[in-house]
Structure 1
Amino acid sequence: MLYVVGFGSGAGECMTGAAENALKESNVIIGYTTYTELVKPFFPDKEYLETGMRQETDRVRLALERSLTDRVALVCSGDPELYGMAALCYEYLDEFPDAEIKVVPGVTAAFSGGAVLGAPLTHDTAIISLSDLLTPMEKIERRLHCAAEGDFVIVLYNPSSRKRADHLKKACDIILKYRDPDTVCGYVQNIGREGENSHICTLAELREESVDMFTTVYIGNSETRIIAGKMITPRGYRR
Protein backbone atom coordinates (compact mmCIF):
# COMPACT_ATOMS: atom_id res chain seq x y z
CA MET A 1 0.00 0.00 0.00
CA LEU A 2 1.16 3.51 -0.81
CA TYR A 3 -0.40 6.26 1.26
CA VAL A 4 0.10 9.70 -0.29
CA VAL A 5 -0.21 11.80 2.84
CA GLY A 6 -0.74 15.52 3.29
CA PHE A 7 0.44 16.40 6.79
CA GLY A 8 -0.68 20.03 6.81
CA SER A 9 1.45 23.14 7.00
CA GLY A 10 3.73 22.25 9.87
CA ALA A 11 2.91 18.70 11.02
CA GLY A 12 1.91 18.32 14.67
CA GLU A 13 -1.35 20.16 15.33
CA CYS A 14 -1.81 20.82 11.62
CA MET A 15 -2.06 17.07 10.88
CA THR A 16 -5.47 15.44 10.47
CA GLY A 17 -6.40 12.23 12.26
CA ALA A 18 -6.48 10.38 8.94
CA ALA A 19 -2.95 11.52 8.12
CA GLU A 20 -1.71 10.49 11.56
CA ASN A 21 -3.28 7.04 11.20
CA ALA A 22 -1.74 6.51 7.76
CA LEU A 23 1.71 7.41 9.07
CA LYS A 24 1.27 5.11 12.07
CA GLU A 25 0.33 2.21 9.78
CA SER A 26 3.30 2.79 7.45
CA ASN A 27 6.68 1.17 7.99
CA VAL A 28 8.52 3.46 5.56
CA ILE A 29 8.10 7.23 5.18
CA ILE A 30 9.44 8.82 2.00
CA GLY A 31 9.64 12.51 1.17
CA TYR A 32 11.53 15.67 0.38
CA THR A 33 14.11 16.18 3.14
CA THR A 34 12.52 19.35 4.54
CA TYR A 35 9.18 17.54 4.91
CA THR A 36 10.53 14.36 6.49
CA GLU A 37 12.37 16.47 9.07
CA LEU A 38 9.02 17.93 10.12
CA VAL A 39 7.49 14.46 10.50
CA LYS A 40 10.38 12.65 12.23
CA PRO A 41 9.78 14.04 15.74
CA PHE A 42 6.30 12.48 15.76
CA PHE A 43 7.27 9.11 14.24
CA PRO A 44 10.92 8.56 15.21
CA ASP A 45 10.88 4.77 14.85
CA LYS A 46 10.00 4.65 11.15
CA GLU A 47 12.40 4.00 8.29
CA TYR A 48 12.94 7.23 6.35
CA LEU A 49 13.99 7.60 2.72
CA GLU A 50 14.64 11.14 1.54
CA THR A 51 15.34 12.96 -1.72
CA GLY A 52 16.25 16.55 -2.47
CA MET A 53 14.38 19.35 -4.16
CA ARG A 54 13.32 18.81 -7.79
CA GLN A 55 13.68 15.01 -7.52
CA GLU A 56 9.92 14.40 -7.51
CA THR A 57 9.86 11.66 -10.14
CA ASP A 58 12.62 9.71 -8.40
CA ARG A 59 10.76 10.06 -5.11
CA VAL A 60 7.47 8.80 -6.54
CA ARG A 61 9.03 5.82 -8.33
CA LEU A 62 10.91 4.86 -5.15
CA ALA A 63 7.68 5.06 -3.14
CA LEU A 64 5.72 2.96 -5.64
CA GLU A 65 8.45 0.32 -5.81
CA ARG A 66 8.73 -0.02 -2.03
CA SER A 67 4.94 -0.11 -1.68
CA LEU A 68 4.84 -3.43 -3.57
CA THR A 69 6.38 -5.16 -0.55
CA ASP A 70 5.66 -2.83 2.38
CA ARG A 71 3.32 -0.16 3.76
CA VAL A 72 4.73 3.16 2.59
CA ALA A 73 3.77 6.79 3.19
CA LEU A 74 4.84 9.43 0.70
CA VAL A 75 4.53 12.71 2.60
CA CYS A 76 3.65 16.12 1.22
CA SER A 77 3.15 19.36 3.08
CA GLY A 78 -0.37 20.76 3.01
CA ASP A 79 -2.56 18.60 0.75
CA PRO A 80 -1.05 16.02 -1.67
CA GLU A 81 -3.43 17.03 -4.48
CA LEU A 82 -2.59 20.75 -4.41
CA TYR A 83 0.89 21.09 -5.94
CA GLY A 84 1.68 17.72 -4.32
CA MET A 85 2.60 14.21 -5.41
CA ALA A 86 -0.81 12.53 -5.67
CA ALA A 87 -1.31 12.97 -9.42
CA LEU A 88 2.28 11.98 -10.22
CA CYS A 89 1.84 8.70 -8.33
CA TYR A 90 -1.14 7.84 -10.50
CA GLU A 91 0.77 8.88 -13.63
CA TYR A 92 3.43 6.25 -12.88
CA LEU A 93 0.99 3.42 -12.23
CA ASP A 94 1.66 2.13 -15.74
CA GLU A 95 5.13 1.12 -14.51
CA PHE A 96 3.77 -0.37 -11.28
CA PRO A 97 0.38 -1.90 -12.21
CA ASP A 98 0.20 -3.94 -8.99
CA ALA A 99 0.62 -0.92 -6.73
CA GLU A 100 -2.29 0.30 -4.62
CA ILE A 101 -2.61 4.02 -3.83
CA LYS A 102 -4.65 5.81 -1.20
CA VAL A 103 -4.61 9.61 -1.10
CA VAL A 104 -4.90 11.04 2.41
CA PRO A 105 -5.93 14.71 2.30
CA GLY A 106 -4.38 17.41 4.43
CA VAL A 107 -5.00 21.03 5.34
CA THR A 108 -3.35 23.16 2.68
CA ALA A 109 -1.56 26.43 3.48
CA ALA A 110 -4.36 28.50 1.92
CA PHE A 111 -6.74 27.44 4.69
CA SER A 112 -4.37 27.25 7.65
CA GLY A 113 -2.82 30.60 6.74
CA GLY A 114 -6.25 32.09 6.11
CA ALA A 115 -7.22 31.16 9.65
CA VAL A 116 -4.18 33.08 10.92
CA LEU A 117 -5.28 36.19 9.02
CA GLY A 118 -8.96 35.84 9.96
CA ALA A 119 -11.43 34.56 7.35
CA PRO A 120 -10.36 35.78 3.89
CA LEU A 121 -11.61 32.74 1.94
CA THR A 122 -15.32 32.75 2.77
CA HIS A 123 -16.19 33.39 -0.89
CA ASP A 124 -14.98 32.16 -4.30
CA THR A 125 -11.21 31.72 -4.32
CA ALA A 126 -8.49 31.11 -6.90
CA ILE A 127 -5.20 29.49 -5.86
CA ILE A 128 -2.29 30.25 -8.19
CA SER A 129 1.38 29.31 -7.93
CA LEU A 130 3.87 31.88 -9.19
CA SER A 131 6.53 29.21 -9.75
CA ASP A 132 7.35 28.91 -13.44
CA LEU A 133 9.46 25.76 -13.10
CA LEU A 134 6.67 23.60 -14.55
CA THR A 135 4.22 26.20 -15.88
CA PRO A 136 5.14 28.88 -18.45
CA MET A 137 5.00 32.39 -17.03
CA GLU A 138 2.68 33.44 -19.86
CA LYS A 139 0.06 30.96 -18.64
CA ILE A 140 0.48 32.10 -15.02
CA GLU A 141 -0.02 35.70 -16.06
CA ARG A 142 -3.16 34.79 -18.03
CA ARG A 143 -4.58 33.05 -14.97
CA LEU A 144 -3.84 36.13 -12.83
CA HIS A 145 -5.68 38.33 -15.31
CA CYS A 146 -8.72 36.01 -15.29
CA ALA A 147 -8.84 35.63 -11.51
CA ALA A 148 -8.46 39.36 -10.94
CA GLU A 149 -11.10 40.28 -13.51
CA GLY A 150 -13.47 37.69 -12.03
CA ASP A 151 -13.16 39.29 -8.56
CA PHE A 152 -11.91 36.09 -6.94
CA VAL A 153 -10.04 36.20 -3.67
CA ILE A 154 -6.57 35.16 -4.86
CA VAL A 155 -4.11 33.02 -2.92
CA LEU A 156 -0.54 32.99 -4.23
CA TYR A 157 1.80 30.06 -3.55
CA ASN A 158 5.55 30.23 -4.22
CA PRO A 159 5.46 34.04 -4.49
CA SER A 160 9.20 34.59 -4.62
CA SER A 161 12.64 32.98 -4.62
CA ARG A 162 16.21 34.02 -5.37
CA LYS A 163 15.71 33.36 -9.09
CA ARG A 164 12.30 35.08 -9.30
CA ALA A 165 12.44 37.85 -6.74
CA ASP A 166 10.19 40.11 -8.81
CA HIS A 167 7.32 37.68 -9.45
CA LEU A 168 5.12 39.00 -6.65
CA LYS A 169 5.57 42.58 -7.86
CA LYS A 170 4.63 41.52 -11.41
CA ALA A 171 1.57 39.67 -10.10
CA CYS A 172 0.45 42.74 -8.16
CA ASP A 173 0.89 44.91 -11.25
CA ILE A 174 -1.47 42.61 -13.17
CA ILE A 175 -4.05 42.54 -10.37
CA LEU A 176 -3.87 46.34 -9.98
CA LYS A 177 -5.35 46.62 -13.46
CA TYR A 178 -8.61 45.29 -11.96
CA ARG A 179 -8.43 46.05 -8.22
CA ASP A 180 -8.26 49.20 -6.13
CA PRO A 181 -4.79 49.90 -4.65
CA ASP A 182 -6.45 49.89 -1.20
CA THR A 183 -7.70 46.31 -1.63
CA VAL A 184 -7.11 44.41 1.62
CA CYS A 185 -4.30 41.85 1.35
CA GLY A 186 -2.22 39.77 3.71
CA TYR A 187 0.52 37.19 3.92
CA VAL A 188 1.68 34.53 6.35
CA GLN A 189 5.21 33.16 6.63
CA ASN A 190 6.11 29.71 8.00
CA ILE A 191 2.50 28.69 8.61
CA GLY A 192 2.25 26.29 11.54
CA ARG A 193 6.02 26.27 12.04
CA GLU A 194 8.59 28.05 14.16
CA GLY A 195 8.84 31.68 13.11
CA GLU A 196 5.23 32.02 11.95
CA ASN A 197 4.53 35.63 11.07
CA SER A 198 1.56 37.38 9.47
CA HIS A 199 0.84 40.84 8.13
CA ILE A 200 -2.20 42.64 6.69
CA CYS A 201 -1.65 45.41 4.14
CA THR A 202 -3.08 47.02 1.02
CA LEU A 203 -2.48 45.77 -2.52
CA ALA A 204 -0.28 48.80 -3.21
CA GLU A 205 1.78 48.01 -0.11
CA LEU A 206 1.96 44.31 -0.97
CA ARG A 207 3.62 45.20 -4.28
CA GLU A 208 6.60 46.56 -2.35
CA GLU A 209 6.86 43.70 0.17
CA SER A 210 9.76 41.24 0.19
CA VAL A 211 8.63 37.66 0.82
CA ASP A 212 10.13 34.19 0.44
CA MET A 213 9.00 30.80 -0.86
CA PHE A 214 7.67 29.85 2.59
CA THR A 215 5.13 32.68 2.43
CA THR A 216 1.49 32.38 1.33
CA VAL A 217 -0.06 35.58 -0.03
CA TYR A 218 -3.75 36.57 0.09
CA ILE A 219 -5.30 39.23 -2.14
CA GLY A 220 -8.85 40.18 -1.23
CA ASN A 221 -11.76 40.73 -3.58
CA SER A 222 -13.87 43.89 -3.86
CA GLU A 223 -15.73 43.06 -0.62
CA THR A 224 -12.81 41.98 1.57
CA ARG A 225 -12.29 44.26 4.54
CA ILE A 226 -10.64 44.48 7.95
CA ILE A 227 -12.83 43.61 10.94
CA ALA A 228 -11.35 43.58 14.47
CA GLY A 229 -7.87 43.69 12.97
CA LYS A 230 -8.48 40.60 10.81
CA MET A 231 -8.80 40.08 7.03
CA ILE A 232 -12.42 39.12 6.33
CA THR A 233 -14.30 38.37 3.10
CA PRO A 234 -18.05 38.37 3.86
CA ARG A 235 -20.20 35.77 2.11
CA GLY A 236 -23.19 38.12 2.10
CA TYR A 237 -25.46 36.58 4.75
CA ARG A 238 -26.15 39.92 6.43
CA ARG A 239 -27.56 41.29 3.17
Structure 2
Amino acid sequence: MLYIVGIGPGSRDLMTQEALAVIAKTDIIVGYSTYIRIIRDLIKDKEIVSTGMRGEVARCQKAIEIAQTGKDVAIVSSGDAGIYGMAGLALELASKAGAKIDIKVVPGVTASIGAAAALGAPLMNDFCHISLSDLMTPWEVITKRVDAAASADFVICLYNPRSKGRPNNLREALNIILKYKSADTVVGIGKDVARPKEIEKITTIKDLDEEDVDMTTIVIIGNKNTYVADGRMITPRGYTL
Protein backbone atom coordinates (compact mmCIF):
# COMPACT_ATOMS: atom_id res chain seq x y z
CA MET A 1 0.00 0.00 0.00
CA LEU A 2 1.22 3.48 -0.86
CA TYR A 3 -0.07 6.24 1.40
CA ILE A 4 0.29 9.85 0.25
CA VAL A 5 0.06 11.85 3.45
CA GLY A 6 -0.53 15.55 4.08
CA ILE A 7 1.14 16.41 7.40
CA GLY A 8 -0.31 19.92 7.70
CA PRO A 9 1.60 23.20 7.84
CA GLY A 10 3.93 22.25 10.70
CA SER A 11 2.16 21.74 14.01
CA ARG A 12 1.16 18.39 15.50
CA ASP A 13 -2.14 20.01 16.49
CA LEU A 14 -2.97 20.59 12.81
CA MET A 15 -2.25 17.03 11.70
CA THR A 16 -5.32 14.89 11.08
CA GLN A 17 -5.96 11.77 13.11
CA GLU A 18 -5.75 9.73 9.91
CA ALA A 19 -2.33 11.16 9.06
CA LEU A 20 -1.04 10.37 12.55
CA ALA A 21 -2.43 6.83 12.37
CA VAL A 22 -0.92 6.12 8.95
CA ILE A 23 2.52 7.38 10.00
CA ALA A 24 2.32 5.29 13.17
CA LYS A 25 1.49 2.04 11.36
CA THR A 26 3.73 2.44 8.29
CA ASP A 27 7.31 1.16 8.54
CA ILE A 28 8.83 3.13 5.64
CA ILE A 29 8.52 6.93 5.33
CA VAL A 30 9.57 8.84 2.21
CA GLY A 31 9.84 12.63 2.17
CA TYR A 32 11.70 15.88 1.65
CA SER A 33 14.29 16.29 4.40
CA THR A 34 12.56 19.35 5.90
CA TYR A 35 9.26 17.48 6.23
CA ILE A 36 11.02 14.50 7.77
CA ARG A 37 12.46 16.80 10.44
CA ILE A 38 8.96 18.08 11.26
CA ILE A 39 7.72 14.58 12.08
CA ARG A 40 11.01 13.13 13.33
CA ASP A 41 9.65 12.28 16.78
CA LEU A 42 6.75 10.37 15.18
CA ILE A 43 8.86 8.15 12.98
CA LYS A 44 11.59 7.17 15.49
CA ASP A 45 13.29 4.00 14.22
CA LYS A 46 11.31 3.62 10.99
CA GLU A 47 13.13 3.27 7.68
CA ILE A 48 13.45 6.71 6.08
CA VAL A 49 14.03 7.65 2.44
CA SER A 50 14.81 11.36 2.23
CA THR A 51 15.90 13.74 -0.54
CA GLY A 52 16.51 17.46 -0.81
CA MET A 53 14.72 20.24 -2.66
CA ARG A 54 13.44 19.41 -6.17
CA GLY A 55 13.74 15.66 -5.63
CA GLU A 56 10.00 15.15 -5.97
CA VAL A 57 10.07 12.78 -8.92
CA ALA A 58 12.77 10.61 -7.37
CA ARG A 59 10.89 10.44 -4.06
CA CYS A 60 7.65 9.39 -5.71
CA GLN A 61 9.37 6.81 -7.89
CA LYS A 62 11.13 5.32 -4.88
CA ALA A 63 7.87 5.16 -2.89
CA ILE A 64 6.15 3.40 -5.79
CA GLU A 65 9.03 0.93 -6.12
CA ILE A 66 8.81 0.09 -2.42
CA ALA A 67 5.02 -0.35 -2.57
CA GLN A 68 5.43 -2.72 -5.52
CA THR A 69 7.46 -5.05 -3.29
CA GLY A 70 4.38 -5.50 -1.13
CA LYS A 71 5.49 -3.23 1.70
CA ASP A 72 3.46 -0.38 3.16
CA VAL A 73 5.09 3.00 2.54
CA ALA A 74 4.04 6.58 3.22
CA ILE A 75 5.25 9.56 1.23
CA VAL A 76 4.69 12.79 3.14
CA SER A 77 3.92 16.34 1.97
CA SER A 78 3.48 19.49 4.00
CA GLY A 79 -0.03 20.91 4.07
CA ASP A 80 -2.39 18.83 1.95
CA ALA A 81 -0.78 16.30 -0.39
CA GLY A 82 -3.30 17.15 -3.10
CA ILE A 83 -2.63 20.92 -3.06
CA TYR A 84 0.77 21.58 -4.65
CA GLY A 85 1.90 18.33 -2.98
CA MET A 86 2.88 14.80 -3.90
CA ALA A 87 -0.53 13.27 -4.63
CA GLY A 88 -0.85 14.25 -8.28
CA LEU A 89 2.74 13.38 -9.16
CA ALA A 90 2.62 10.01 -7.41
CA LEU A 91 -0.66 9.07 -9.07
CA GLU A 92 0.65 10.14 -12.50
CA LEU A 93 3.86 8.16 -12.12
CA ALA A 94 2.07 5.08 -10.83
CA SER A 95 -0.38 5.19 -13.73
CA LYS A 96 2.32 5.66 -16.38
CA ALA A 97 4.37 2.84 -14.88
CA GLY A 98 1.36 0.54 -14.79
CA ALA A 99 2.03 -0.06 -11.10
CA LYS A 100 -0.42 -2.53 -9.60
CA ILE A 101 -0.53 -1.12 -6.10
CA ASP A 102 -3.16 0.23 -3.75
CA ILE A 103 -2.88 3.98 -3.19
CA LYS A 104 -4.60 6.08 -0.56
CA VAL A 105 -4.40 9.88 -0.35
CA VAL A 106 -4.59 11.15 3.22
CA PRO A 107 -5.71 14.80 3.39
CA GLY A 108 -4.07 17.48 5.51
CA VAL A 109 -4.55 21.10 6.51
CA THR A 110 -3.15 23.35 3.80
CA ALA A 111 -1.38 26.66 4.55
CA SER A 112 -4.30 28.84 3.48
CA ILE A 113 -6.64 27.10 5.92
CA GLY A 114 -4.16 27.32 8.78
CA ALA A 115 -3.41 30.98 8.08
CA ALA A 116 -7.09 31.84 7.64
CA ALA A 117 -7.94 30.46 11.07
CA ALA A 118 -5.17 32.50 12.67
CA LEU A 119 -6.21 35.66 10.81
CA GLY A 120 -9.95 35.36 11.43
CA ALA A 121 -12.38 34.22 8.73
CA PRO A 122 -11.17 35.53 5.37
CA LEU A 123 -12.30 32.51 3.31
CA MET A 124 -16.01 32.59 4.13
CA ASN A 125 -17.00 33.27 0.53
CA ASP A 126 -15.62 32.05 -2.81
CA PHE A 127 -11.84 31.92 -2.93
CA CYS A 128 -9.06 30.44 -5.03
CA HIS A 129 -5.46 29.28 -4.71
CA ILE A 130 -2.81 30.54 -7.11
CA SER A 131 0.88 29.70 -6.91
CA LEU A 132 3.23 32.45 -8.08
CA SER A 133 6.03 29.97 -8.67
CA ASP A 134 6.76 29.73 -12.39
CA LEU A 135 9.05 26.71 -12.11
CA MET A 136 6.36 24.43 -13.55
CA THR A 137 3.71 26.84 -14.82
CA PRO A 138 4.59 29.57 -17.35
CA TRP A 139 4.37 33.08 -15.92
CA GLU A 140 2.02 34.09 -18.73
CA VAL A 141 -0.45 31.43 -17.56
CA ILE A 142 -0.12 32.52 -13.94
CA THR A 143 -0.81 36.17 -14.76
CA LYS A 144 -3.94 35.19 -16.73
CA ARG A 145 -5.22 33.29 -13.73
CA VAL A 146 -4.47 36.19 -11.38
CA ASP A 147 -6.29 38.55 -13.76
CA ALA A 148 -9.33 36.27 -13.98
CA ALA A 149 -9.52 35.76 -10.20
CA ALA A 150 -9.16 39.47 -9.48
CA SER A 151 -11.75 40.49 -12.08
CA ALA A 152 -14.22 38.03 -10.53
CA ASP A 153 -13.45 39.45 -7.06
CA PHE A 154 -12.42 36.13 -5.55
CA VAL A 155 -10.58 36.10 -2.26
CA ILE A 156 -7.14 35.08 -3.55
CA CYS A 157 -4.68 32.89 -1.66
CA LEU A 158 -1.19 33.33 -3.09
CA TYR A 159 1.17 30.41 -2.55
CA ASN A 160 4.94 30.68 -3.19
CA PRO A 161 4.53 34.46 -3.40
CA ARG A 162 8.12 35.65 -3.34
CA SER A 163 11.64 34.24 -3.27
CA LYS A 164 15.21 35.36 -3.89
CA GLY A 165 14.99 33.89 -7.37
CA ARG A 166 11.59 35.47 -8.04
CA PRO A 167 11.64 38.77 -6.13
CA ASN A 168 9.22 40.59 -8.44
CA ASN A 169 6.44 38.04 -8.96
CA LEU A 170 4.38 39.25 -6.02
CA ARG A 171 4.58 42.88 -7.11
CA GLU A 172 3.58 41.98 -10.66
CA ALA A 173 0.63 39.98 -9.37
CA LEU A 174 -0.47 42.83 -7.10
CA ASN A 175 -0.30 45.27 -10.01
CA ILE A 176 -2.69 43.03 -11.94
CA ILE A 177 -4.99 42.73 -8.94
CA LEU A 178 -5.05 46.52 -8.55
CA LYS A 179 -6.73 46.78 -11.94
CA TYR A 180 -9.86 45.43 -10.26
CA LYS A 181 -9.46 45.80 -6.49
CA SER A 182 -8.96 48.89 -4.36
CA ALA A 183 -5.52 49.62 -2.89
CA ASP A 184 -7.33 49.56 0.47
CA THR A 185 -8.33 45.90 0.00
CA VAL A 186 -7.58 43.93 3.16
CA VAL A 187 -4.64 41.52 2.97
CA GLY A 188 -3.70 38.83 5.48
CA ILE A 189 -0.20 37.42 5.77
CA GLY A 190 0.60 34.11 7.42
CA LYS A 191 4.28 33.26 7.71
CA ASP A 192 5.59 29.91 8.97
CA VAL A 193 2.01 28.91 9.79
CA ALA A 194 1.74 26.56 12.79
CA ARG A 195 5.51 26.60 13.31
CA PRO A 196 7.47 28.05 16.26
CA LYS A 197 8.17 31.41 14.56
CA GLU A 198 4.65 31.85 13.15
CA ILE A 199 3.68 35.42 12.21
CA GLU A 200 0.24 36.74 11.26
CA LYS A 201 -0.29 40.25 10.00
CA ILE A 202 -3.29 42.11 8.58
CA THR A 203 -2.63 44.99 6.23
CA THR A 204 -3.84 46.32 2.85
CA ILE A 205 -2.55 46.03 -0.68
CA LYS A 206 -1.06 49.53 -0.56
CA ASP A 207 0.61 49.01 2.83
CA LEU A 208 1.87 45.47 2.28
CA ASP A 209 5.61 45.28 2.92
CA GLU A 210 7.00 42.84 0.41
CA GLU A 211 10.04 42.26 2.62
CA ASP A 212 7.68 40.46 5.04
CA VAL A 213 6.91 37.87 2.36
CA ASP A 214 8.92 34.82 1.36
CA MET A 215 8.36 31.23 0.26
CA THR A 216 7.08 30.18 3.68
CA THR A 217 4.39 32.87 3.55
CA ILE A 218 0.76 32.64 2.41
CA VAL A 219 -0.81 35.91 1.24
CA ILE A 220 -4.61 36.14 1.42
CA ILE A 221 -6.12 39.05 -0.52
CA GLY A 222 -9.70 39.83 0.39
CA ASN A 223 -12.65 40.63 -1.83
CA LYS A 224 -14.45 43.98 -1.93
CA ASN A 225 -16.47 43.06 1.17
CA THR A 226 -13.61 41.83 3.34
CA TYR A 227 -13.04 43.99 6.41
CA VAL A 228 -11.23 44.04 9.74
CA ALA A 229 -13.02 43.93 13.11
CA ASP A 230 -11.37 43.48 16.50
CA GLY A 231 -8.11 42.64 14.80
CA ARG A 232 -9.63 39.87 12.70
CA MET A 233 -9.94 39.62 8.93
CA ILE A 234 -13.54 38.81 7.97
CA THR A 235 -15.14 38.07 4.59
CA PRO A 236 -18.94 38.06 4.97
CA ARG A 237 -20.79 34.97 3.78
CA GLY A 238 -23.83 37.04 2.93
CA TYR A 239 -26.15 36.39 5.86
CA THR A 240 -28.73 39.05 6.69
CA LEU A 241 -27.76 40.43 10.10
Q: Deviations over 1:114-149 (max 9, x none)?
A: 001000000000100000000000000000000000
Distance 1:210 1:162 in 2: 13
Q: Which amino acid aligns with 2:22?
A: A
Structure 1 residue 96 displacement after superposition = 4.7
CA offset at residue 46 of structure 1?
1.5
| Partner AA of 1:87 in structure 2 | G
Structure 2: 5+ residue stretches without partners = none
- 2:19 maps to amino acid: A
Cα pair distance change 1:11/1:70, threshold 3 Å: farther
Distance between the aligned counterparts of 1:91 and 1:150, measured in 2?
32
Residues 87-98 of structure 1 correspond to what in structure 2 (within 5 A)?
A: 87-93=88-94, 94-98=96-100
Distance 1:209-1:148 versus aligned 2 partners, 3 A rule:
farther
Distance in 2, Cα, partners of 1:211 & 1:234: 26
CA RMSD of the aligned region, Å? 1.1
Distance 2:148 2:9 in 1: 28
Contact 1:184 1:202 in 2 (8 A): yes
Moved more, 96-105 or 19-28: 96-105
Which residue type is aligned with residue 112 of structure 2?
A: A
For residue 222 of structure 1, report the CA deviation from its aligned partner.
Answer: 0.4
Task: Tell me the secondary structure at the aligned position of residue 104 of structure 2.
Answer: strand
* Partner in structure 1 of residue 8 of structure 2: 8
Q: Which residue number in structure 1 is paired with residue 169 of structure 2? A: 167
Judging changes above 3 Å, is the alpha-carbon distance between structure 1 residues 208 and 25 closer, same or farther for their aligned structure 2 residues? closer
Name the aligned partner's letter for residue 143 of structure 2.
E
The aligned amino acid for 1:199 is: K
User: 2-side partners of 1:43 and 1:13: how far apart?
Assistant: 17
Identity of aligned residues (%): 47
Provide, for residues 179-237 of structure 1, a one-character-per-residue CA deviation record: whole Å limited to 9, x for no partner. 01100101011001110001100111126444110000010000000011111001011
Match 1:216 to one of 218, 222, 229: 218
Q: In structure 1, how many angstroms separate the alpha carbons of the residues matched to 2:161 and 2:24?
A: 34
Please say if residues 12 and 42 of structure 1, whose CA atoms lie closer than 8 Å, have aligned partners that are also in contact: no
Please name the residue that 2:27 is paired with: 27
What amino acid is the match of 1:29? I
1:149 is matched with 151
- Counterpart residue number, 1:193: 195
Bigger mean CA offset, 114-123 vs 60-69: 60-69
Residue 235 and residue 164 in structure 1: after superposition, are their counterparts in 2 closer, same or farther (change >3 A)?
Answer: same
Q: Counterpart of 2:171 in structure 1: which amino acid?
A: K
> Do the aligned partners of 2:24 and 2:42 also contact (CA within 8 Å) in 1?
no
State the partner residue of 1:44: 44
CA distance in 2, matches of 1:42, 1:196: 22
Q: Which of 140, 162, 182 is the equivalent residue of 1:180?
A: 182
Gaps of 5+ in 1: none
Alpha-carbon distance, 1:42 to partner: 2.2
Structure-to-structure mapping, 1:57-136, within 5 angstroms: 57-68=57-68, 69-93=70-94, 94-136=96-138
Q: Provide the rounded CA distance (Å) in 2 between the counterparts of 1:81 and 1:184.
A: 28
Shift of 1:41: 1.7
* Secondary structure at the counterpart of residue 21 of structure 1: helix
Report the TM-score when normalising by structure 2: 0.96
Give the secondary-structure state (helix, strand or coil) at the position aligned to 2:22.
helix
* 1:17 correspondence with 2:14: no
Amino acid aligned to 1:117: L
Q: With the length of structure 1 as denominator, give the TM-score of the two structures.
A: 0.97
